[in-house]
C-alpha cells in the first residue's frame, strides 16, 4: 500500500490538496427537496466501495498529505457499521491525520454521538434548515425534526463541537434565519448559511427558492452588529462575529462570491469516483485502481491524473427560472 513518502497532491495551480470529503453512501433517510427527488434512485450496493476499500483509499490520501477527512453522503450515519470506518480512521489521528469529522442530518446522532466522540471525532456539522416541525417535514419530506434535535443535544452532551449548516431558501426558511442563528448561538454553535446550488434534477425549480446571501447578510446587519472575522476554516465560508450573541455566522456563497482560488479539497463518491471539483464533471476512477492487480501503482497514476485535471474554478449559476441544473449529479452523490 502507499507509503508516507508518496508525493503530495499538488494541482496545476499550485494548490495543495489537504482535505478529502468522502461520501460513504448515497442513501439517505430524508428527502430534502432541494437535494433529491422523492423517488431518488440509489446506487446498487455492489457498486459502492466496501468500508475496507474506503479505509485503504483514505490511507493513500493521508500518505499523500491529506490531513483532514470529512465523511459525508447521502447520510453517512445510515450506512451500517460506518462507525467501524470512523474508528479505523480515528486511529490515524496524530499519525498524519489531524482532523476527522462528518456532516450529518442528525437523525441517528442520538445513538452514535458517544461512539463518534470516543473514536476521536471532536466536531461535526449538522444540517438544519428549520426548527419548525411542519416546515421541517415539508422541506425534508420526513417528519423527523424531533430525532434531529435530540441528536444535536446528544452531540453536545457527548462533548462534540457542533456547527449548524442551513440552506437559505426564499419563501421557505428565510423568515426564520435570525431565530435559527439566535438559537444556535445560544447553544454555543456557529451557524453557516449556504446558497442553494443547481446540482441534480429535483421536482421543483430551485430558482424559486434561491436566496442570495448578500441580502440575508444586510438583513442580519440591520438587527445585529456584525464584524468580519479574521478566523477562517480554510474552507469556502466567510465568517462574521455577532457582538450581541457572541457567536459566528458563516456564509457560503458559491453563486454570488467565487471561492475557488484557495481550494484545498477533493471529493470521493461512494463508488470511489474522485471529483476534483464539486462544480465540475471531471473525475478519476479510484475504485478501478483499488480493485486492480497493482493498487499502489494504479492509485499513484490516478492521483497524478487527478492533479493534472483539477479545474481552476467552478462555473455554475442559478441565473434563470426553469434552467436545467448546472450538473446532473446530485449533491448527495458527490458528497456535500
Nearer to ligand SAM, 96 or 183 (CB): 183
- Residue 73 binding ligand SF4, by CB under 6 A: yes
Q: Binding to ligand SAM (CB under 6 A): which residues in 30-69? A: 34-35
Closer Cβ to ligand SAM, 9 or 277, answer by number = 277
Span from 57-65, 69-77, 149-157, 235-243 in contact with ligand SF4 (CB under 6 A): 69-77
Per partner kind, with CB cut-offs from 5 to 8 A, the member of ligand SAM, ligand SF4, none near residue 327 is: none
> Cα separations (Å) of 281 from 80, 95, 199, 269, 326?
29, 33, 11, 13, 10
Pick from 6, 71, 112, 167 the residue near ligand SAM by CB under 6 A. 167
Rule CB under 6 A: is residue 128 a binding residue for ligand SAM? no
Q: Binding to ligand SAM by residue 190, rule CB under 6 A?
A: no
User: Does 75 sit near ligand SF4 (CB under 6 A)?
Assistant: yes
Instruction: Please state the three-class secondary structure of the chain as a single string.
Output: CCCCCCCCCECCCCCECCEEEEEEECCCCCCCCCCCCCCCCCCCHHHCCCHHHHHHHHHHHHHCCCCEEEEEECCHHHCCCHHHHHHHHHCCECCCECEEEEEECCCCHHHHHHHHHHCCCCEEEEECCCCCHHHHHHHHCCCCHHHHHHHHHHHHHCCCEEEEEEEEECCCCHHHHHHHHHHHHHHCCEEEEEECCCECCCCCCHHHHECCHHHHHHHHHHHCCEEECCCCCCCCCEEEEECCCCCEEEEECCCCCCCCCCCCEEEECCCCEEECCCCCCCEEEHHHHHCCCCHHHHHHHHHHHHHHHCCCCCCCCCCCCCCCCCECCCHHHHCC
Only one of the segments 88-96, 189-197, 208-216, 242-250 lies at the binding site for ligand SAM (rule: CB under 6 A); that segment is 189-197
If contact means CB under 5 to 8 A according to the sort of partner, which of ligand SAM, ligand SF4, none does residue 247 touch?
A: none
Residue 113 is a binding residue for ligand SAM (CB under 6 A): no
Which listed option, ligand SAM, ligand SF4, none, makes contact with residue 113 (CB within 5 to 8 Å by class)? none
Distance CA 189, CA 207 (A): 29
Residues 273-332 contacting ligand SF4, CB under 6 A = 332
Q: Which three cell numbers stand for residue 103?
A: 456532516
Contact pick of 2, 25, 101, 127 for ligand SAM (by CB under 6 A)? 127
By CB under 6 A, how many residues form the interface with ligand SF4?
Answer: 13
Q: Which does 31 bind (CB under 5 to 8 A by kind): ligand SF4, ligand SAM, none?
A: ligand SF4
**Is residue 105 involved in binding ligand SF4 (CB under 6 A)?**
yes
Q: Does 250 bind ligand SAM (CB under 6 A)?
A: no
**Binder of ligand SAM out of 75, 124, 211, 269 (CB under 6 A):** 75
The whole-angstrom distance between residue 106's C-alpha and the CA centroid of its chain comes to: 13
Query: Quick one: 242 or 270, whose CB is closer to ligand SF4?
Result: 270
By CB under 6 A, tell whether 331 contacts ligand SAM: yes
| Binding-site ranges for ligand SF4 (CB under 6 A) | 28, 30-32, 35-36, 73-75, 105, 127, 140, 332
Amino acid at each position: 500500500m502507499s507509503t508516507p513518502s508518496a508525493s503530495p497532491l499538488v494541482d496545476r495551480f499550485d494548490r495543495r490538496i489537504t482535505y478529502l470529503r468522502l461520501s460513504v453512501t448515497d442513501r439517505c433517510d430524508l428527502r430534502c427537496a432541494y437535494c433529491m427527488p422523492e423517488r431518488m434512485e440509489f446506487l446498487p450496493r455492489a457498486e459502492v466501495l466496501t468500508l475496507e476499500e474506503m479505509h485503504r483509499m483514505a490511507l493513500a490520501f493521508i500518505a499523500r498529505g491529506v490531513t483532514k477527512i470529512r465523511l459525508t453522503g447521502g447520510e453517512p450515519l445510515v450506512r451500517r457499521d460506518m462507525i467501524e470506518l470512523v474508528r479505523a480512521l480515528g486511529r490515524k489521528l496524530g499519525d498524519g491525520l489531524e482532523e476527522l469529522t462528518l456532516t450529518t442530518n442528525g437523525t441517528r446522532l442520538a445513538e452514535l454521538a458517544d461512539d463518534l466522540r470516543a473514536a476521536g471525532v471532536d466536531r461535526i456539522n449538522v444540517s438544519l434548515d428549520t426548527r419548525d416541525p411542519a416546515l421541517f417535514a415539508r422541506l425534508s419530506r420526513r417528519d423527523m425534526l424531533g430525532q434531529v434535535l435530540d441528536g444535536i443535544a446528544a452531540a453536545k452532551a457527548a462533548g462534540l463541537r457542533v456547527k449548524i449548516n442551513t440552506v437559505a431558501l426564499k419563501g421557505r426558511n428565510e423568515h426564520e434565519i435570525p431565530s435559527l442563528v439566535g438559537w444556535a448561538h445560544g447553544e454555543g454553535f456557529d451557524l453557516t448559511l449556504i446558497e442553494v446550488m443547481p446540482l441534480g434534477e429535483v421536482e421543483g425549480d430551485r430558482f424559486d427558492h434561491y436566496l442570495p446571501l448578500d441580502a440575508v447578510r444586510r438583513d442580519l446587519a440591520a438587527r445585529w452588529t456584525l464584524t468580519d472575522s479574521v478566523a477562517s476554516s480554510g474552507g469556502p465560508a466567510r465568517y462574521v462575529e455577532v457582538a450581541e450573541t457572541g457567536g459566528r455566522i458563516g456564509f457560503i456563497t458559491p453563486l454570488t462570491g467565487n471561492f475557488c482560488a484557495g481550494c484545498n479539497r477533493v471529493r470521493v463518491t461512494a463508488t470511489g469516483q474522485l471529483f476534483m471539483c464539486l462544480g465540475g464533471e471531471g473525475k478519476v476512477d479510484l475504485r478501478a485502481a483499488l480493485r486492480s492487480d497493482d493498487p499502489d501503482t494504479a492509485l499513484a497514476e490516478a492521483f497524478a491524473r487527478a492533479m493534472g485535471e483539477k479545474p481552476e474554478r467552478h462555473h455554475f449559476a442559478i441565473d434563470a427560472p426553469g434552467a436545467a441544473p448546472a450538473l446532473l449529479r446530485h449533491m448527495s452523490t458527490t458528497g456535500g
